[in-house]
Chain A
Amino acid sequence: MTEDLRQDTLYQLDHVSKSYTRGKERVDIFTDLTMQIGRGEFIAIMGPSGSGKTTILNLLGGIDRPSAGEIAFKGQRIDNLGQGKLATWRAHNVGFIFQFYNLMPTLTAIENVELPLLLLKMSGKERRRRAETALDIVGIADRAGHKPRQLSGGQQQRVAIARAIVADPAVLMCDEPTGDLDRESANSVLETLQLLNTELGKTIVMVTHDPAAASFAKKELHLDKGRFVEREALA
């Protein structure tokens, strides 16, 4: 497997299986999945509901651990880390973007963006400065003092993107990031993601149901019955 640990490989999955037990019944989501994700990729994962899209994001994002097999990130295994270590690993390496934004309602936009930085060692001033920069990058610096409920869906998702990138992670996990947005807001969020990918080199894994959204990615993977079918994006 050494040849797979090339400099441009971000994730290496080897014989990964994931199954859930529902009562007495065992449900296999993946069996023996082997794949790589390279640095700088922008992958759209599509597939029917219940096919395991969120499950693979959870495995890649270090929220869940595989039932069998190995997952390595930058050559280091993450599948055998304990809960605490995994949490710290997430704080340093992964940004998460959710369908329903999931901002803290009690915090202002900039405080929401500062939140992940509480887990890194830096001064309050530095946190504020970084959060301002992140808000600037996603083009919503003028709403820094607003609470989430004072923002539109598209604006909230921008704040969420700022929160995802503020700790400068290598990879962004996006689960239907435009699922709750109108076409126009969706496109502008997707353009932002594209920008983060091309200009800042962020690796992005995005789950979506929407072919138009998927077309913003460099690569589309179709998940069906535990298997990925690759298709180079037309766009």
Chain B
Amino acid sequence: MNRATLVRKSLFRKKVRAILLILSIAIAFFIFGALGAFYKAFNSGVEVAAADRLVTVNKINFTVTMPLAYQARVAQVEGVRNVSHASWFGGYYQEPQNFVQTFAVDPETYLIAYDELTLPPEQREAFLTDRTCLAAGRALANQYGWSLGDRIPLLSNIWQQQDGSSAWDFTICAIFDADDDAVPTNYAIFHYDYFNETLAFNRDQLGWLIVSTTDPALNAEVSQAIDALFANSPAETETTTEAAFTQAFLEQIGNIGLILTSVIGAAFATILMIVGTTMVLAVDERTKEIAVMKTLGFTAPSIFAMTLGEVFLLSLLGGLIGLGLAWTLVSLAAESLAGFIPGLGISLDIALIALALMVGLALLTGLLPAMRAMNVQISTALGKL
């Protein structure tokens, strides 16, 4: 037996209580790990947004389209280097649950705007010239096992062709990578023209403009100039930086950051109170034993350390179990969600924050009981020796 045994045995003196405490801590850390991983994956778009890229959307809402002619007009604005556009296709492959993020784009300008995307020269050429080409990102191609030359029909849950069909046929003629792992490649792009010509309704409309400026310092000026151009027209615009656009896109899904912080905060506030009070009670109910230990010669600092150690053990056990569960769930989900949310995983920084939380939790809930334990008076606690 050693002091560690002592700490462990006193934590598990009431097994059910210890297990419930560990479970409640594990749940909080599970929530933290799982939600944190999703949040991080969602936000990776914001982190990789280029500084000189602006996005122009319809002022009403980014899901409302605007005239195709806007592209040419924005290209005239001073300080604009390149203008591309994209439209949301909302595709799926074979089954509706096989969601494929697909955009109808203006190929040439799109590859200029997103110069972080890399593809071999002959594939680039094929993509630019072949109207029915689908350029798939590496992550997406891997997910469905697509390779060059495959004929892929994609169905849209938004659009319809003139013949009433909602299926478009494509050939994979290019598979693109990115020069940075953080840049998602979980989507596909194809010719806007091919899409526009076959549409049953809403032709000659685009989803949003991707504007590259000649200098990030001009961003504010250019944004204002673009929006001024279409002021008082039926389709007014709102131009923001790509980072802000991605953020706004996320906020459309819900203010994820706030929700996550609230949920995690509530979970931690709850366990803070539960663990805190339980530990105080646990120490109070064994003041006599602590007094005996002191009588035997255990000093106040060593009683303090052992009590705090007990709360650390509790916090680490619960925290690591919770994080382990989150890791398991996220790893399982990452596979099936690879196309939708790339880069889903418990990253090192999430794990480190979790570890810091475990330490913080242990300190916050452990200091009070440890002080109470340390200050137990032998003669009062034992009454009779």
Task: Please indicate the chain B residues that have their CB under 8 angstroms from the CB of A61 in the complex.
Answer: 295, 385
> Would you call A87 and B298 a contact (CB within 8 A)?
yes
| A195 at interface, CB cutoff 8 A | no
Q: B13 an interface residue at 8 Å Cβ cutoff?
A: yes
Contact A58 B1 (CB under 8 A): no
| Residue numbers in A under 8 Å from B299 (CB-CB) | 83-84, 87-88
CB <8 Å contact, A104 and B292: yes
Q: Give chain A interface residues in 51-67, CB to chain B under 8 Å.
A: 54, 57-58, 61, 63-64
- A-contacting residues, B9-64, CB 8 Å: 9-10, 12-13
How many residues of A are in contact with the other chain, CB < 8 A?
A: 37
**Total number of B residues with any Cβ neighbor in A under 8 Å:** 26
Residue of B nearest to A89 (CB): B297
Pick the most buried of A87, A92, A111: most chain B CB atoms within 10 A of its CB. Answer: A87
* A118/B384 contact (C-beta < 8 A), A63-B378, A87-B299, A90-B295 known: no
Contact B1 A91 (CB under 8 A): no
Interface residue ranges of A82-125 to B (CB < 8 Å): 83-84, 87-92, 96, 98-100, 102, 104-107, 111, 114-116, 118-119, 124
Does any Cβ of A come within 8 Å of B296's Cβ? Answer: yes
B259 to chain A, nearest CB (A): 43
CB of A127 within 8 Å of the partner chain: yes
B298–A104 contact, CB under 8 A? no
Q: For the complex, is A220 an interface residue (Cβ under 8 Å from B)?
A: no
Q: Contact partner of A106 among B2, B10, B294, CB < 8 A? A: B10
Interface assignment of B224: CB less than 8 Å from any CB of chain A: no
Q: Which chain A residues (29-88) contact chain B, with CB distance < 8 Å? A: 54, 57-58, 61, 63-64, 83-84, 87-88
B322–chain A nearest beta-carbon distance, Å = 26
Query: Chain B nearest CB: distance from A83 CB in Å?
Result: 6
Q: In whole Å, how far is A129's beta carbon from the nearest beta carbon of chain B?
A: 13
Q: How far is the CB of B16 from chain A (nearest CB, A)?
A: 14
A114, B1: Cβ atoms closer than 8 Å:
yes
Q: In the complex, what's the smallest C-beta–C-beta distance from B191 to chain A, in angstroms?
A: 73
Residues of A near B10 (CB, < 8 A) are 106
Contact of B13 with A105 in the complex, beta carbons under 8 Å: yes
Question: In the assembled complex, how far is the CB of residue A152 from the closest CB belonging to chain B, in whole angstroms?
Answer: 20
Q: Taking the complex as formed, is B193 at the interface, i.e. its CB lies under 8 A from any CB of chain A?
A: no
Decide: B13 and A63 in contact? CB cutoff 8 A.
no
